Chains A and B, each alone.
Chain A
Amino acid sequence: MKTLLQRNIRDRIMESLLVLSTIVVLLPLIIILVHVVVNGISALNWDFFTQELGSPSRALQGRPTGLVHTILGTLVVDFLALFLAVPIGFGAGIMLSEFPDHKLNPTLRVMNDTLNGMPAILKGLLAFVLIVKPMGTFSGLAGAVALAFVMIPIIARTTESALMSIPWSIREAGLAIGLPRWRVVLSTVMPAARFGLVTGTLIAFARAAGEAAPLLFTSFGNNYLPNHWLGMLLGPVDTLPQRLYSLAISPYSHWHSMGWAAAIVLLVFVIVCFGTARYLTRQKH
């Protein structure tokens, strides 16, 4: 039998080990954030937001280059993906929560979780086969579809739990005043769950916005702005995560610092989305 002193010492040792582990886990995160900001801030100038990237010689000769085409492309592709993903995700979430006895629900739940756990790169391969191959060209549309595949399972899942958190008495009240079922869902349950729905959508959006793997062989990338606005959808288009990858593995030091700047933009974008989502979740309670 150990003495009380030994046990207390062990208690203190374990406590300090726990603190130490926490620091060891969080320290790299802080280091990453500091490095990204320190290395990227100098390249984050006016040109960065207003100029096209162009060929590497442009940077080597010191002419102004930037990522305006990347930022616009990201917005187009991400919002199109959101537009495609929200109806399916909401629909599946409504099916799981409002038709709880439907016999396909267990299958849907398993399939949705499976899809959610699938590596994003496989979603890119799927979009490549479904969109890029028939179209015969890399396109923003294909990129949006690939990102929608990333968003859909997340939205479905969060929609289900947001709708489930609304008490059944609300639905019963709606039915009792004579609302048809679809009006109960659309006019009482979904407005009541709006914080949860927006939170889930934001999380899915931010998660997809950071993905590069599915975009590499769907929207492919482009050093210039498309000539025509439709070129964003029907031709190769640049997106931030994929451009960041290309800049990072390029041999030009000027492009490296632009990569760091792109990392800042991407990080700020993602953190704002997640921060808003967290803030809304806290508002709910």
Chain B
Amino acid sequence: MTKQPAIELKNITKRFGKVVANKNVNLTAYRGEILSVLGENGSGKTTLMNMISGIYFPDEGHIFIDGKEAVITSPKEAFGYKIGMIHQHFKLVDVFSAAENIVLGIENGKYNLKDSAKEIKKISEQYGFDVDPKKKIYTMSVSEKQTVEIIKVLYRGADILILDEPTAVLTPQETEKLFAILRRMRDDGKCIIIITHKLHEVLSLSDRVSVLRKGEYIGTVNTSETSESELTEMMVGKKIDLNIQRDEPKNTEERLTVNSITCVDKTGTVMLDNVSFSVKSGEILGIAGIAGSGQRELLESIAGLQRLEYGDIFYFDPKTGKKESLRDKNPLQIRQMGVRLSFVPEDRLGMGLVGNMDIVDNMMLRSYSKGHSLFLKRNKPKSLAMKIINDLEVVTPSASTPVRRLSGGNVQKVLVGREISSSPTVLMVAYPVRGLDINSSYMIYNLLNQQKAQGVAIIFVGEDLDVLVELCDRIMVIGSGRVTGVVDARTTTKEEIGLLMTKPKDDGKENGNG
């Protein structure tokens, strides 16, 4: 059987202001195949797919569906062409059931949940989904929500499916399950396009790989004829060593101890349940877990941003050797106690930095209040900004550019640079390489390793298990706010961590009382 092109892109160009997100991209995807679109963050993968699914409109170029030119100006029209996109961030109504979400927004059809449930069941059986149409979204796990998203587009009759980084939030076991489903859909004659930057997934799943770099189309290769190093070279433009350096911890001593803390959010849900652990100087403690298992609350508790219901946090001062409690202290009080605690939060522009302020003003966020003067002193922050721009190779027009104008990698360099500049004794980083290109990611790993060599106790919350296993000394796994295990990163496997991530509570009780 000859392959039928399902979708063809010709000379697609899209600009955002001066930024060229896509430049003369040509791409073809056939029916009955899985095509990976591979590229670093910021290489224009998502923009390209958004143009196919009607969210953006291309400035130049043409899209052909089944050989005919198509004009797609809205997601609805995209559905008309049987194109369905599964976004990285799910677009579901939390208080609705799976079935309600699936039929939501479909016009000229009768609203009949019973019939829909039947239809959903049929689709589920056909491809091996496991979903209860009556289950409410807010009670679902991330992987279940993703399943609903996929069924949603299938229900609408999509036969070109685009998945944007579908494995970013899944455990290794869930990923395998998803891949099996995608393969079944391929064999059913659907055209599947998956956006990703994870090389091993590309190699294990797809038939062909198209690579984008800085918005430009580099080329397409057959998966069976390529290798990890060739793909990296296409992606980055040069050969790159993908190994992360890891030294043995030196001069370790107790630095921070978390003592059975419990923490509850506004609605009364237990976010951290009796969590205990400690970090030593000169080591990197990794924290793994499904997104939303309490990682954020854990770091914020230590940083003084969460109220603790129970438990305590102790800091061991390296100079005096004194043991000090950080419970019920706000970030300012913690700093005034002489605790050099640095924190690179997950939400860089919403918490770590102020997007509309320039680099200089962001440098003094932590230090502006020092001294008795009513007025700000911008000399030191200015020289610090210049130093970070030079040392970390931040690409910016000037130190007075608002940080939101910088690319993700450069924003992170500014934030990490500032946090390291206060020579911390404890450094907490949450998803520090999320959205970064390969070069920036490796620069961040190197910075963390430098800090480790200087005796800093580092807590690293990550999502990419490959990285956690290669970079950290120990890995603590949490699930639903509880510690489900601590493993030696040098001997563990991804699968072991994956199992711990989804390990059910062993005491059987809901929301244990700490």
Chains A and B are bound partners: no
A residues sitting closer than 8 Å to B (CB atoms) are none
